[in-house]
Amino acid sequence: MAEPWKIGMFQCAGLMGAWKLPENRSTELFELDHWIRMVRRCEDAGADFFFFADDYGYPVVGDGIPDTAVRGGVQFPKGDPTMILPALAAVTERIGLVTTLSTQVELPPMVARKMATLDHMTNGRVGWNIVTGAGQNASARLFGRPLTEHDARYEIADDHVDLSLKLWEGCWDEGALRVDRDAGVYADPDGVREIVHDGPHFRSRGVLAVPPGPQRTPMLFQAGASVPGRALAAKYAEAVFLAAEVPALKEQIADIRRRAAENGRDPRGIKCLIAGTFYVGETNEDAQRIRARQVATKTLDDAAASYAFFTGLDLSKMDPDKPLDPEAGLTQTGRTNVERFLGPNAPTVREILEEFQANSVMGAPYVGSPVEVVDEAQAVLDETDADGFLVQPDHTGTFDSFIDLVMPELRRRGLVADAVERTTLRERLTGSGSPHLAPEHPGAAYRRTTEPAREPAGV
């Protein structure tokens, strides 16, 4: 029998593709109630986690943001998910809460402090999506910094995660937090220590001032499937987000699992989640109609702006009848969505635009009745060896159709659990039975052996 699906729900604190449809609610993005309603529905439906994608980018073409992006709401505007997450933590008890923080923007002590604090506030339900960052050309301009080259960004990311792990795992011994009012001991000084990090990109000597939350290190996710992205995932990630056509997904997942095994990690310990778009209706015709309505909201200019955001490349200036120049693969912005359109049988520029107009970065959608989409999606999981889906919002900008139509079908087939216990996100997704990183994870090496807290002298 098939394994239960791992299910995450994808959002960004921004406009969603089909915002022009009257029933789309993503224009409510700056209303807290919008998020609260949505996360509660996801929790009640039994989703494993709610994910906020994030970046500081937006499309940049030539010398700035194109009118199309501003007018058409393409990867623009966006709010800051870390400002929304605590409110979602307050109204939920079981669902995981995951967000992106870019290793190009936030320094490791900032990531470590925010995530450790959120781990407490969520009772161990927080996850960090490690990315070097989409929209890097825009983000570099905004921060007034030169654009760091693609592969160098991944070297920085590696050093960043290494230092963050030291801060989470190495500063506080288990049991060092005492809060003993009678003895006047808040924390045991012998159990709290400075870490020293002298890496190729970051230097640090200090203590993370936040004692460990239930997971200590937040559950680690990764997105960005270029070759160095996969190497980063295989080293550190406990879950990976992927989006591509089925043969490419199969190859990427096999590659990540193979690299994980080479690193001495359990290849199945990395949960591979496919970004899945579900157009679902009571009947196949309903679903096809919804899809057509959604696709019609996007122009080819919107598609070009969206492609520019992910890759830094302006398709509108290229010959529509030719494939991408192989040199495009050297773009210093994101590479995942360039590499997937190169090689034998490469599509033309026009076909890439049409693909982005229809499906954006997400690969082919699942379209049909609940039975049809679950059959098809299950076949993709079997074919690719993936563990589940990161579900894209539907044409309403919410997950209502997935929750109302797909979840009952999954439940009928035993592909989602009936009742969900309150656990940490790591336990829920990895099934490891421990809230902490697996012993073979590189972060575990920074842990100090547990020593019983000493009584202060004279007590």
Instruction: Please list every residue from 249 through 288 that binds ligand FMN, using CB under 6 A.
Output: 275
Q: Does 336 bind ligand FMN (CB under 6 A)?
A: yes
Any residues with CB less than 8 A from the CB of 440 and at least 6 apart, and which? 264, 265, 266
CA 219 to chain centroid: 11
Q: Does 53 bind ligand FMN (CB under 6 A)?
A: yes
Per-residue DSSP letter, 102: E
Among 223, 233, 407, 415, binds ligand FMN (CB under 6 A): 223
Among 78, 166, 335, 441, binds ligand FMN (CB under 6 A): 335
Q: Does 324 bind ligand FMN (CB under 6 A)?
A: no
Q: Does 229 bind ligand FMN (CB under 6 A)?
A: yes
Instruction: Please list every residue from 107 through 166 that binds ligand FMN, using CB under 6 A.
Output: 129, 131-134, 150
Q: Does 328 bind ligand FMN (CB under 6 A)?
A: no
Q: Does 363 bind ligand FMN (CB under 6 A)?
A: no
Residues 272, 198 contacting (CB under 8 angstroms): no
Question: Given the complex with ligand FMN, which of 133 and 388 has the nearer CB atom?
Answer: 133
Contact region with ligand FMN (CB under 6 A), list: 218-226, 254-262, 312-320, 438-446: 218-226
Among 24, 75, 92, 100, binds ligand FMN (CB under 6 A): 100
106-114 contact pairs (CB < 8 A, 24+)? 107/202, 108/160, 108/161, 108/163, 108/164, 108/167, 108/202, 108/204, 109/167, 109/204, 109/206, 109/208, 111/160, 111/164, 112/164, 112/167, 112/168, 112/208, 112/210, 113/208, 113/209, 113/210, 114/82
Residue type, 344: P
DSSP 233-297: HHHH-SEEEE-S-HHHHHHHHHHHHHHHHHTTS-GGGSEEEEEE-EEE-SSHHHHHHHHHHHHTT
Question: Given the complex with ligand FMN, which of 134 and 138 has the nearer CB atom?
Answer: 134
Strands 126-131 and 177-180: unpaired
Contact region with ligand FMN (CB under 6 A), list: 53-61, 286-294, 363-371, 419-427: 53-61
Q: Does 390 bind ligand FMN (CB under 6 A)?
A: yes
Q: Does 226 bind ligand FMN (CB under 6 A)?
A: yes
Per-residue DSSP letter, 205: E
Question: Given the complex with ligand FMN, which of 15 and 171 has the nearer CB atom?
Answer: 15
Q: Does 334 bind ligand FMN (CB under 6 A)?
A: yes
Strands 49-53 and 6-12: parallel
Per-residue DSSP letter, 223: E
Question: Given the complex with ligand FMN, which of 126 and 195 has the nearer CB atom?
Answer: 126
The footprint of ligand FMN (CB under 6 A) covers: 53-55, 100, 102, 129, 131-134, 150, 223-226, 229, 241-243, 275, 310, 334-336, 361, 390
